[in-house]
Amino acid sequence: MEEEFEIRGCFYELAGLNCRKFLDIKRRRCSLKKPDLLAVMMNPGNSKPVDGRYEDHRVTEARPDRTQMQIMRFMNVSGFDYCRIINLTDIQETKSKALFEILEKPKTKRIAHSIFDPKRQEEFNDLYPKNSLTLLAWGVHESLNELAQQAMKKLGNDNILGLKKENSELAYYHPLPPSYHKQQEWLSKISEQLKNQKQFIKTRQT
């Protein structure tokens, strides 16, 4: 499946931390100039630049991780050709516990590590085409609430997909839960949600 897509990301270093601004997953035959799907997740995870270099905000070939493979499955099931992934934080730390500890450090709080930070409005405008269909999938940990709230203010509530945790306004289930059964369940539910949303829009237009 990976061979069907071109995968490129923008990698850089900030305050001694490896970061990624965005990752584009684009079908090789695709001629779209803008994404037809935007996905917002927790952080860049284990996707890395092929050449291993984090410098100068370069856009370069990237290796996908297992979560991004799940996004490719969703793209194949639902007919999307070009997905852009942005994150609540650009900081690349594969272990959630370690990430949450980094986010709580006073040093981290002083830097604009999130594309949703008001200081990065111009970058956000460049990366986020207005009215994009947006998949929210950053997980349900309460440590993310502040960043998630900041993201929701920027994204709004229009044209949104995501499996929201019950009794929560900010928690959206991650695409790759630990068990294979749960992964298949997420894929099935989000595909059905998209189908229903398309049908609702079609009904309103007729």
Average pLDDT over residues 162-173: 93
Average pLDDT over residues 185-202: 83
Query: What pLDDT was estimated at residue 205?
Result: 44
Q: What backbone phi and psi angles, to 5 degrees, belong to 127?
A: -90, -25
Q: 200 pLDDT band (50/70/90 cuts)? A: very low
**Cα–Cα distance measured from residue 124 to residue 139, given in angstroms and rounded to the nearest whole number:** 21
**Cα–Cα distance measured from residue 31 to residue 185, given in angstroms and rounded to the nearest whole number:** 31
Query: What pLDDT was estimated at residue 206?
Result: 41
**Cα–Cα distance measured from residue 114 to residue 106, given in angstroms and rounded to the nearest whole number:** 15
Query: What pLDDT was estimated at residue 163?
Result: 96
Query: What pLDDT was estimated at residue 203?
Result: 45
Answer yes or no: is pLDDT of 191 > 80: yes
Query: What pLDDT was estimated at residue 159?
Result: 87
201 vs 52, more confident: 52
Query: In what side-by-side order are the strands of the sheet with 160-161?
Result: 48-49, 58-63, 5-14, 17-27, 82-87, 37-41, 134-136, 160-161
pTM for the model stands at 0.92
Query: What pLDDT was estimated at residue 103?
Result: 92
CA torsion sign for 101, 106, 109, 111 is negative
Q: Provide the domain limits for residue 160.
A: 2-205
**Cα–Cα distance measured from residue 51 to residue 64, given in angstroms and rounded to the nearest whole number:** 13
The number of C-alpha atoms within 13 Å of 52 and in the hemisphere containing its C-beta is 0
The pLDDT tens digits for 97-146 are: 999 999 999 999 999 999 999 999 999 999 998 878 999 999 999 999 99
Q: What is the pLDDT of the chain when averaged over all its residues?
A: 91
| First-residue to last-residue Cα distance in the chain | 37
Average pLDDT over residues 15-36: 94
Burial class (CB in 10 A: 0-12, 13-18, 19+), 13: middle
Query: What pLDDT was estimated at residue 24?
Result: 97
The number of C-alpha atoms within 13 Å of 157 and in the hemisphere containing its C-beta is 4
Question: What percentage of the chain has pLDDT greater than the value 70?
Answer: 96
Domain count, the chain: 1
Answer yes or no: is pLDDT of 202 > 70: no
- Written as one letter, the residue type at 8 is R
